[in-house]
Structure 1
Amino acid sequence: MTCAPLSPVPEAAQFRRDPAQVMQLARLGLAHPTRLSFLRILLRRMQRENWRFDRPVFDIDANGVGRAVYRAIGPERTYSLVAFAHDLPADMRSDRVIATAWDATFALCDGTPDAADLDRLAVNVPLQEAGRVTQKELTLSRANRSVRLFEHVIQCLSEGHQPSKDDLAATGYLMRTTAVYGSGKFGAATHHSLTDRPETAAPFQAEMLTVWMIRTFTVDLVNHMARMRDATAAVPLDRNLRRNLGVGNSTGLGMAPFLVRHPILLNNWMMAREEALARVRAQQTAAPDKIKRFIQALRAAQENAAVWTSAHPLQQERLAALRAGLDRIAAYVGMGRDQWADHPWDALWHWGQAHLDTEAQEALLSLMLEPHGGLIDELEAYLSADETTAFAIDGGQQIAALKALLANNYDWALEVDYDDLKAAGRFWYVSEDKLEPRLGERFEEAGSDRELPLDIGRQAAALFEALKDFAGDDPVARLLLAHHQHRAMVRRVQLTATRPFAEIRDNLIDADMLPIDMLRCKLACFGASRFDPRSDRWVRISLFQNAPYPNDLHTEPDL
């Protein structure tokens, strides 16, 4: 199923933001999840198609060790999460990618696994990277318990009472994943092999389904262990309390280069979001039900911001700005009906640009999209891209035309002096230990001779400099015959010429560049919340917090 090019609504043209503003890393790093986030797309589809869910296997002992199978049954296909729960000694519990054991390991299977499949998976899935799965499996994942909260919840439930809402809110999850592998890793099915299925055509749908069912497993596990501890006194976790729990995730630099390596996808994700914002701003009136839904979303955002915490100084500053900004928005919309006159959403947006800092501006974007599902949800069809289609370099293009593209679309890159030590202070490479991307300090560490080509700005500037030696009417082929090292950048410039949101418009090897901003941008597209940086290179987040569970998905009024 190939994604068609997005067709913008003409009347929304004047309301679209400039890509030069949108694609700055400092703004991308303040992104908030929206109703176009991948997990929301998954939930809406399952609700719309009336998917069914069951748990045919739950063979787990009093210590929380065993296996379980959860099924998601769609109109055409069934997907099964196979979960293995382990008794992990405390000294072996680690969120680092080099860990070799976890509290739980998982695989998402195509169809319903039989006994032989379960035995095969029991040998391989707990090993994660050291094991192997087959084309029957779509994802491979692992998770660790939030040790204090996990045990606290079990103890409370086993004694017949609920844990406090504040205790749950402080952490926000019972387990956190340290990896959710898909797209062909370790023998699993490739993403391309699934694109003809409507339910997996949108980005990362198999991964999102995996995490959503892991969330149910974690609640079932604490309920089960509480009952095994005291069958007479134990009570299940309250429905409202469990709603506030998501699945945690620890994510590091391995995810960051994705946005650079997949410029067409990045363009589609950002363009769909920006088209959605423009459509909302273009509305001439604000219906009462839309205003009501906006205010509900605003209150929920204020509640979330109130319990969202971080020990990282930068994130603490951002949280303070967010809370203050949300309060300003609430005060503004509470002033009376004048705010909802002609083109009210555009007026609200312009007010936000003048009175809010960037963090709150991006939160306002998310809030403004929330009431307008009927207007923007169809944009989810444009988020994917067929990256298997080759894009041939146009060798006949004139040098002058290529130079104009660089000057117009890569001006941000041409302004940097890459001979400056700070501007070239870092380099990207792949670690030998885990074959994962890492970031090195160019003038302090060895390894820059194995640098990954993620220095797009520097490559653009080098190409622009090389063009000076050629006449404007020379063909690009002549340049490439003389300087083959510029082939990749020429191809990229031509590829992104009609894709204005394809590039992060910042120097990604600068000594002050914050990789966590790249992580947050991608994770917000997933639908992640509660961003909690632990350094400038890895972050903890929560997925599916306040989302429905399988048994109440179909009673949810608006997803």
Structure 2
Amino acid sequence: MTAIALRPPEVVMRLKRLGAAHPTRLSFLRQLIRRATREKWRVRKDRFDLDDNGFGRAVYAVETPARTYSLVAFSTPLDDEKRSDRVIAQAWDTSYVLYDGLPDAAEVARLEANAPLQEAGRYTRSELVLARANKSVRLFEDVVAVLAQGRQPDEEQLLGVGYLLRTTAVYGNGKFGIADRDEIAARPELAGSFQAEMLTVWLIRSFTLDLVDHIACRRNPAGAASLAPELRRALGVGNATGLGMAPFLVRHPLLTHSWFLARETALARVRAEPHAGAAERDIFSKALADLRQRVARWHSDDDRQAAATRSLAADLDALAENLDRLLAKAPPWDAVYRFAEDKFSLEGQEACVSLILEPHGALVDELGDTMKADETPGHAIDGSVTCGSLRQALLDSYSWAGKVDFAEPSANARFWYVSAEKLEPRLGERFEEDGAELEQPLATARDALSLAAALAQEPASASVADFLLRRPEWRHAVRRAQIVAKFPYAEIHDNLIGADLRPVDILRAKLAFFGARSFDPRSDRWLRIALFSGEPLIEDVATMAPAGEAA
């Protein structure tokens, strides 16, 4: 077998390519689905106390081999003028807790007094995830009305949106007093990245679908229809995500490296395969057909995304036309990738990466276990290295940063800070707004070049420890430089404070690892997506064969 080199960070970690990312079979929700199917997780409604308008409480219990988890859901009246996707909102249509175990009536009552308050509530270590969601109001009501008449909703209208509820936050990892990550990190079913959060969203999807059926039935008990199984499977859960999530890939370099390294390793393995068997060809063709159908329904008012989607549609058409010819070459999957690399847009190239991995579960799925990193102890600075060697390491790892002229105002146009009101990351305009003195250390390219310049003033043989004793303000940059030297996918290879920065590019890269689809930027700072659309329902996995997913 011919070895294929991994795509280098200078190709993979550019903002424009990150902004064209697609979910793969290594995405976190796909990992969760495979485990749940393999272990035959069982879901039951322990409680479903909703009134005629769908207001009340519900509990969905999930039995895994080791323990039970419960989604505790609350649906409450909400005036239209209070419904907002913004993080500053204070009321939502629905709120949720992923509970460790099965809550009794007293616990449900406690959660009912707190979960609808979200950040303002009080929580315990029994709460693993906190979430809230709003209805996609017009579509939600249209679907209820049609079902109440005994008919099914229009498929094109329904799948053009792809969801009936849209989450505006899914909090884990100890936020607002819920359980710390350490509480669940050793549990196999939740050990992977964001598995508790993905389980929460998967269960919210089931509650959403049951909610529309329930309201329709209450409106017309004798004649209402239930949402058809194929439509239930096609719908997902929407999500609105903004700047608060954007710095994650920068602040977690070890985790970021592990995610991208796993995906790039998977791609290299598949490209090196010497043959394309009939089963693999069939799975690839079905995945390609499915993606072409999804792209036909992928609408965005963002001009850049709309143009990218049109290019993607053309790329996928070309791939379908040339597939047999490409798979006749050796190695076949490398030929497919190289065709995309040579002919396609970035959107098409990254979609091709996703498609190539799809038929090769036996070859790549085990890499999902590597997509985590223990960042709790931090990364100790090695003070014994010399200033000369660290400077050279900086010049090697950040050679791309030298192309940015930070003397230009446009290269320093923005600064990252933390909002005092919501304790969330925000992006300020350096030359138009106050607050630059509160800048967070996210200007990685600028800081790396500045550190290299500072080291150039030191004796080459002097130790970094001695340098930092005198210049402690450089500790964060030294630590990052030593991380990036060892973990090449840890750094985004672009200026993160420039005037042309589009934070949605960073958001999309992270969300693609979650398994998100239907990316719809609403500005350069936030976007909407869908999770679990077209994936199995959690209540079905107990009866699915492990091969229910693509091989």
TM-score normalised by the chain length of structure 2: 0.98
Question: 1:246, 1:542 within 8 Å by CA — same for their partners in 2?
Answer: yes
In terms of mean alpha carbon deviation, does 341-350 or 258-267 score higher? 341-350
Which residue of structure 1 aligns with residue 14 of structure 2? 24
Alignment of 1:538-553 (within 5 A): 538-553=526-541
- In the alignment, the residues of structure 1 paired with residue 270 and residue 453 of structure 2 have an alpha-carbon distance, to the nearest angstrom, of 42
The answer to whether 1:308 aligns with 2:305 is: no
Which residue of structure 1 aligns with residue 199 of structure 2? 209
Question: 1:160, 1:234 within 8 Å by CA — same for their partners in 2?
Answer: yes
Helix, strand or coil: the match of 1:432? coil
Helix, strand or coil: the match of 1:248? strand
In terms of mean alpha carbon deviation, does 349-358 or 513-522 score higher? 349-358
Partner amino acid, structure 2, of 1:42: L
**Which of 79, 89, 109 does residue 79 from structure 2 map onto?**
89
- Measured against aligned partners, the alpha-carbon deviations of 1:407-429 in whole angstroms (never above 9, x if no partner) come to 11111223322121000000011
- In the alignment, the residues of structure 2 paired with residue 431 and residue 550 of structure 1 have an alpha-carbon distance, to the nearest angstrom, of 37
Alignment of 1:136-535 (within 5 A): 136-334=126-324, 336=325, 339-535=327-523
Structure 2: 5+ residue runs without aligned partners? none
Partner amino acid, structure 2, of 1:373: G
Tell me how far 1:392 sits from its aligned partner: 1.8
Partner amino acid, structure 1, of 2:92: W
Helix, strand or coil: the match of 1:14? coil
Question: 1:268, 1:383 within 8 Å by CA — same for their partners in 2?
Answer: yes
Partner amino acid, structure 2, of 1:296: K
Which residue of structure 2 aligns with residue 6 of structure 1? none
Question: 1:64, 1:87 within 8 Å by CA — same for their partners in 2?
Answer: no
**Considering only aligned residues, what root-mean-square deviation do their CA atoms show, in Å?**
1.2
Tell me how far 1:15 sits from its aligned partner: 2.9
Structure 1: 5+ residue runs without aligned partners? 1-10
- In the alignment, the residues of structure 2 paired with residue 127 and residue 503 of structure 1 have an alpha-carbon distance, to the nearest angstrom, of 37
TM-score normalised by the chain length of structure 1: 0.96
Tell me how far 1:432 sits from its aligned partner: 2.1
The answer to whether 1:555 aligns with 2:522 is: no
Question: 1:400, 1:472 within 8 Å by CA — same for their partners in 2?
Answer: yes
Runs of 4+ in 1 over 6 A off after TM superposition: none
Question: 2:521, 2:528 within 8 Å by CA — same for their partners in 1?
Answer: yes
- In the alignment, the residues of structure 2 paired with residue 474 and residue 491 of structure 1 have an alpha-carbon distance, to the nearest angstrom, of 17
Helix, strand or coil: the match of 1:510? coil
Which residue of structure 2 aligns with residue 52 of structure 1? 42
Tell me how far 1:339 sits from its aligned partner: 3.1
Question: 1:15, 1:282 within 8 Å by CA — same for their partners in 2?
Answer: no
- In the alignment, the residues of structure 2 paired with residue 516 and residue 480 of structure 1 have an alpha-carbon distance, to the nearest angstrom, of 35
- In the alignment, the residues of structure 1 paired with residue 135 and residue 36 of structure 2 have an alpha-carbon distance, to the nearest angstrom, of 28
- Measured against aligned partners, the alpha-carbon deviations of 1:341-363 in whole angstroms (never above 9, x if no partner) come to 32111111111111111110000
Helix, strand or coil: the match of 1:422? helix
- Measured against aligned partners, the alpha-carbon deviations of 1:133-189 in whole angstroms (never above 9, x if no partner) come to 110000111000011111111111111110010110121101000000110011111
- In the alignment, the residues of structure 2 paired with residue 257 and residue 31 of structure 1 have an alpha-carbon distance, to the nearest angstrom, of 17
Tell me how far 1:13 sits from its aligned partner: 4.9
Tell me how far 1:12 sits from its aligned partner: 7.0
- In the alignment, the residues of structure 2 paired with residue 140 and residue 59 of structure 1 have an alpha-carbon distance, to the nearest angstrom, of 20
Partner amino acid, structure 1, of 2:544: T
In terms of mean alpha carbon deviation, does 252-261 or 91-100 score higher? 91-100
Aligned length: 547
In terms of mean alpha carbon deviation, does 97-106 or 549-558 score higher? 549-558
Cα–Cα, structure 1 residues 181 and 12, in superposed 2: closer, same or farther, change >3 Å? Answer: farther
Tell me how far 1:193 sits from its aligned partner: 2.0
- Measured against aligned partners, the alpha-carbon deviations of 1:519-543 in whole angstroms (never above 9, x if no partner) come to 0000000000000000000000000
Question: 2:388, 2:456 within 8 Å by CA — same for their partners in 1?
Answer: no
Partner amino acid, structure 1, of 2:490: A
Question: 1:12, 1:279 within 8 Å by CA — same for their partners in 2?
Answer: no
Question: 2:14, 2:494 within 8 Å by CA — same for their partners in 1?
Answer: yes
Percent of residue pairs identical: 52
Which residue of structure 2 aligns with residue 3 of structure 1? none
Which residue of structure 2 aligns with residue 7 of structure 1? none
- Measured against aligned partners, the alpha-carbon deviations of 1:406-459 in whole angstroms (never above 9, x if no partner) come to 111111223322121000000011112211111011001111111111111111
Helix, strand or coil: the match of 2:169? strand
- In the alignment, the residues of structure 2 paired with residue 436 and residue 340 of structure 1 have an alpha-carbon distance, to the nearest angstrom, of 52
- In the alignment, the residues of structure 2 paired with residue 33 and residue 276 of structure 1 have an alpha-carbon distance, to the nearest angstrom, of 13
Question: 1:143, 1:175 within 8 Å by CA — same for their partners in 2?
Answer: yes
Cα–Cα, structure 1 residues 25 and 346, in superposed 2: closer, same or farther, change >3 Å? Answer: same
- In the alignment, the residues of structure 2 paired with residue 459 and residue 200 of structure 1 have an alpha-carbon distance, to the nearest angstrom, of 36
